[in-house]
Structure 1
């Protein structure tokens, strides 16, 4: 056995944790291949959301989140990751190539991040305010280089509502988009998709004026009473919204945005905060321009994250995931 490279059990464990990363509609659009110390990540075109994500932007954001999760997992196993991003315009599926050195010295915070991988969930209900005004700044700092994170002020909320309505209007009569959304959301599949229990009820959805218009759950459940006071246009949601922007709008920018998304949501999970990623506001050109005007010096807006104090109990069941054997091959 070569002690200078991770063995297959280590890689299998790390990839299993990496695949807990958030992905668009929980599509998990990735494949991994390990060969003699090198782990290659590929986009899975069979899981591209053709109607919602024809450019593959959200697909690569999802892959970037998985890369960051992998880094966290390997650090806890005392392996440092060295990532080469390899998105190319020639249509190659390869996203990144990763090598490892046995010199990581994890600290307590690294193990907190590891535990957060298992605990993190997307919460589509309304949030109470952040417990500390400085919390948003700490989350912003977690993103690292290559991505600008802007904490949007409260007076930006009407523009966010406008962008939501523009996005919804464009999609409302798009039969392909609606069919795709209903394929991925509200079905209790064993391996992927958004389960029924993770969807907001109609009452919960009405309290969040900037959320994506997912279908109602097939199995209605009683909605916990919100613990926040109604606040005018948004009625209940008092979340803080973070905007993630990049210098350009190319595949490498999308991957780095996904890495930042993972870092922010894991830090929020450690702080016992709720998060919900909003990608629908940057899917449509008209709504994306509204978002861009909120922070014109922050780069190209890629996604937004609602973050706040949860007002509802966390789901009891894990979100379904594909098995490692389905996404990882060994040379």
Structure 2
């Protein structure tokens, strides 16, 4: 349910208000760092405000709020997609109030009409997309699909660099460096434990069933269970046909961080529409030394915001992380 401020208010809302409330709930499916879902929505009449929830900021992993802002940008794009998918045209003001830095965006409904086919497809992809840490199938990613992913990032004001095979070695080195730095930090281990060991019934955090198994990979994924006992069995290398990419922006300001989140959402939804799987790689952004390696890969072209692992999904069930309810994240005024 969505939290309304007066009894029976749900029946009294304008169509735009109801559409915004539904879009805000749908935006809860957006990816976020550690599935922290660090956002709140405040809706009145034909305007929705997207606000940061600083109580959910990862103060060790993300002290400057970069990844919190990227996460909120993904939620913003999800909400825009949900509205476009049912035919609502919107106007968005990003970071509209310098005196209120936690107000990330205002979405105003300006018109209603027939949804476009592309918007409907992305809206459907929202219900299907999940972060996929499973090994990918031994099938190459079609080049036309990668072109669509690059175009999706550009449309949101960011860029997607598909890495060459020789560049993947540097990305792997960045991932190893990030893991080495973070796992020796007791504050990081405590924060990781807090978000991977959520109590029963929690609707946030990273559940164990979504974690990556410790198979050898071209680029190692974050170890979500550093105290676990590794499987002694020998594994073949997986993700041999995975593609890796860096999502980056021209400059490095909160406006860019928000745009990067919108681009991340657009890339992931487009990948889902192309029947591809993906998982963001954020630890290479969290550690300055690792992030500098990504900057080197870009040859000074921009500022890396997140790396991505993309491939044809493998076999087996795909577990999904839970999401908070509308009542927890959406307030609708009357």
Q: CA deviation at 1:130?
A: 3.5
| Match 1:172 to one of 183, 188, 192 | 183
Q: Which residue of 1 aligns with 2:171?
A: 160
1:191 aligned residue: 203
Shift of 1:84: 0.6
Q: Secondary structure at the match of 2:312?
A: strand
2:88 equivalent among 69, 72, 79: 79
The one of 266, 269, 272 equivalent to 1:266 is: 269
Aligned residues: 319
User: Does residue 247 of the first structure (1) align with residue 250 of the second (2)?
Assistant: yes
| Aligned counterparts of 1:219 and 1:312: Cα–Cα separation in 2 | 25
Counterpart in the other structure of 1:279: 282
- SS for the counterpart of 1:51 is coil
Structure 2: distance between partners of 1:217 and 1:105: 53
Shift of 1:190: 2.9
Alignment-derived partner of residue 120 in structure 1:
129
Aligned-partner Cα distance in 1 for 2:14–2:110: 7
Counterparts of 1:315 and 1:92, CA distance in 2: 37
Provide the rounded CA distance (Å) in 2 between the counterparts of 1:249 and 1:268. Answer: 25
RCO (CA 8 Å, sep 6+): is it higher in 1 or 2? 2
After superposition, the C-alpha distances for 1:232-263 in whole angstroms (9 at most, x for unaligned) are: xxx54421111111111111100000000000
Alignment of 1:135 onto 2:145? yes
Match of 2:318 in 1: 315
Cα displacement (A) at 1:7? 4.1
Aligned to 2:70: 61
- Calculate the TM-score normalised by the size of structure 2: 0.87
Question: How far apart are residue 299 of structure 1 and its match?
Answer: 0.6
Larger mean Cα displacement after TM superposition, 236-245 or 86-95:
86-95
Q: Give the Å deviation of 1:121.
A: 0.7
Alignment partners' CA distance in 2, 1:72 and 1:302: 22
Supply the distance in 2 between the matched residues of 1:177 and 1:87 (Cα, whole angstroms): 33
Deviation at 1:16, TM superposition (A): 1.2
- The SS at the match of 1:166 is helix
For residue 114 of structure 2, give the secondary structure of its aligned residue in structure 1: coil
CA contact (8 A) 2:285 2:304 kept: yes
1:118 CA displacement: 1.0
SS in 2 for 1:134: helix
C-alpha spacing 1:314/1:107, structure 2 compared with 1 (3 Å): farther
TM-score (norm 1): 0.88
| Alignment-derived partner of residue 304 in structure 1 | 307
Note if contact 1:14-1:74 (Cα within 8 Å) is conserved in structure 2: yes
- The change in CA–CA distance for 1:145 and 1:269 in structure 2 (over 3 A counts) is closer
Distance (whole Å) between structure 2 residues aligned to residue 189 and residue 208 of structure 1: 35
Instruction: Write the distance in 2 (CA, Å) between the matches of 1:88 and 1:79.
Output: 25
Q: Distance in 2 between matches of 1:124 and 1:273?
A: 13
